[in-house]
Amino acid sequence: MRLSCIHEILIGSRDQEKAKCTGEVCLNEACKRGLPCRVECVSNQEAVERSEVIILAIPYKHLDSTMSGLTGFEGKIVISPINPMEKSEFFAYIPPVEGSAALHLKTLLPESTRLCLAFNNISGNRWRDIDQELEYSVAVCGDDAESKRVVMEMIDQISLLKSYDAGPLAMSPVVEGLTPLLNNIAKCNRMKDVGVKFV
């Protein structure tokens, strides 16, 4: 919803019927609000092939299985908002051996893929509450300056978000690890949708 009024969006899914339902919800909600909405629902593979920028908005536990059957990432900008964490009595950051989900994802992608980390610290509830502005800071990590510039420009078009260059992909464990911290703060202090804002 927040991106489709600015960019043409392809929603990819293993289950195209599920993607179709998501797209219909997006179109209906946009229609109610009188907003433009350019959404098309396709398979994951088609989304990769046709997109210039790919956001892998999937749970960490599904990362390997999702990536295993996909090709065509060469030269594309890929954004990882993925946080490897588990919940028991509290939220814990459980990174893979590479040190972060983003660094693990890098091993699954062709060398020419331009991988960035972004959007990791904004709750799903805040994304879905389309009638409310998003007033958060978004840390962006990556090893390619041009792809970071593209991603940061996209972020700055969304609601009241403000992007910040957070350095190379090696900083991704720090950014991903903030999410379980924010969730624990919210839980322990009876707060909702805690986020980050640099002032």
Domain ranges within the chain, ordered by starting residue: 1-45, 52-188
**What is the mean pLDDT of the segment spanning 147-165?**
97
3-state SS class at 22: helix
Cα 134 from chain centre: 15
Cα gap 51→145, rounded to integer Å: 20
Q: For the domain with range 52-188, which CATH number is right: 1.10.1060.10, 3.40.630.150, 3.40.50.720, 3.30.460.10?
A: 3.40.50.720
Cα gap 130→28, rounded to integer Å: 13
pLDDT per residue over 110-120, tens digit each? 999 999 999 99
Structural element, H or E, at residue 32: helix 16-33
**What's the predicted TM-score (pTM) here?**
0.93
Q: For residue 45, count CB atoms less than 10 angstroms from its CB and return exposed for 0-12, middle for 13-18, buried for 19 or more.
A: middle
pLDDT at 168: 98
Average model confidence (pLDDT) for the chain? 94
Q: Which residue has the higher pLDDT, 37 or 190?
A: 190
